[in-house]
Amino acid sequence: MNRNNNNNILVPTDFSEIAHNALGHALKIADVYKNEITLLNIQDEGGLFGLFGSDEKMGLIKEAVDMKMDKLIAESAQSFPNVKINKRFETGKIYKVITEIAEKENFDSIVMGTNGASGLQQITGSNASRVINYAKVPVVVVKDQSISKSGYEKIVLPIDLSRESRQKVSWAVHLAKRFNSVIHVIYENSSNPEVKGRIFAAVNQTQDILSANNANYIVRGLDEEKYPDSFAEDTLAYASEINADLIMIMTQQEKGFSEFLLGSYAQQIVNHSGKVPVMCINSHDTGVIVDGMFN
């Protein structure tokens, strides 16, 4: 990525279990890529504290948050003594604060928890969807699945006919090199000769890139008999079947009434991925050399 990043991973937290799990993923990534982590807590100034709070109350909240962060940092240091963790407290609209900090201060990536479509936590849930929509850096969305000691061993890389679909291949290579991953390239078989030919061309191009970079990979066509549903549902079924450690997708945004919305495929993957973490990449972040976390 042609940007002067600060070698830092942004990890928003509301101190929920899922946010704590996201920190676990970030710690492993930071340890492998020699990143720092910035642990970020945000108090929504439009909430109860914004309406009825005072400087004194906000000061008490900040003090309590500071103590919780110190505890998390101390616990993290026991397993990852070489990872530096910074702490930060902000107020504002949660998704805006996260994306603005990540962009203006050139963070490498964002790792955050989500409960999916029904999430009710401050950081998790709908705020995660908005962060994915607006972030210009990769966002790793974490649910219940903890990262293993070996990291992301099995990466699912869905390939379709969209131009954006193939742009994420370089990111898969960068991850696979550091985690010694096997990349599972998947696509849907088609009975339409023209579509089938175009899909094969896209898959062959992907294989060429992976082979040129000495990446370990498997190619799997999802047949209609075993995988009869939408590509998103079939992707999730395959990921579950192989006990995948990560699914990589492009956000492929679509214009909504008032803002950009996740493309339908990305939306289904993020909301219904079960426990499997999802790495979401915005199309304008691809097609160039990647620095920092993904060297």
Alpha carbons 232 and 229: distance in angstroms, whole number: 8
Question: Which residues in the chain belong to E strands, given as ranges?
Answer: 8-12, 36-43, 85-91, 109-113, 139-142, 154-158, 182-188, 216-222, 246-250, 254-255, 260-261, 278-281
Predicted structure pTM score: 0.86
pLDDT at position 47, please?
55
pLDDT digit string, tens, across residues 64-101: 999 999 999 999 999 999 999 999 999 998 889 999 99
Q: How many residues does the chain have?
A: 295
Q: Please give the structure tokens belonging to residue 91.
A: 């107020």
pLDDT at position 13, please?
93
pLDDT at position 260, please?
41
Residue 12 backbone zone (phi > 0: left; psi -120 to 50: alpha; other: beta): beta
Q: Give which of 86, 107, 25 is closest to 279, Cα–Cα.
A: 25
179 close to 293: Cβ distance less than 8 angstroms: no
Q: Give which of 146, 168, 183, 185 is closest to 266, Cα–Cα.
A: 168
- Which domains occur in the chain, in start order? 8-142 (3.40.50.620), 154-276 (3.40.50.620)
249 close to 280: Cβ distance less than 8 angstroms: yes
243 close to 233: Cβ distance less than 8 angstroms: no
Low-confidence ranges of the chain (pLDDT < 50): 1-4, 48, 51, 117-124, 253-262, 285-292, 294-295
pLDDT at position 53, please?
55
Q: Please give the structure tokens belonging to residue 57.
A: 């109350």
pLDDT at position 190, please?
81
pLDDT at position 271, please?
79
Based on C-alpha coordinates, what's the Rg of the chain? 19
92 close to 7: Cβ distance less than 8 angstroms: no
pLDDT at position 123, please?
46
Residue 197 vs residues 99, 139, 166, 179, 273: alpha-carbon distances, Å: 39, 32, 16, 33, 29
Residue 251 vs residues 1, 84, 136, 172, 292: alpha-carbon distances, Å: 17, 30, 11, 15, 21
pLDDT at position 257, please?
37
Q: Give which of 250, 198, 199 is closest to 221, Cα–Cα.
A: 199
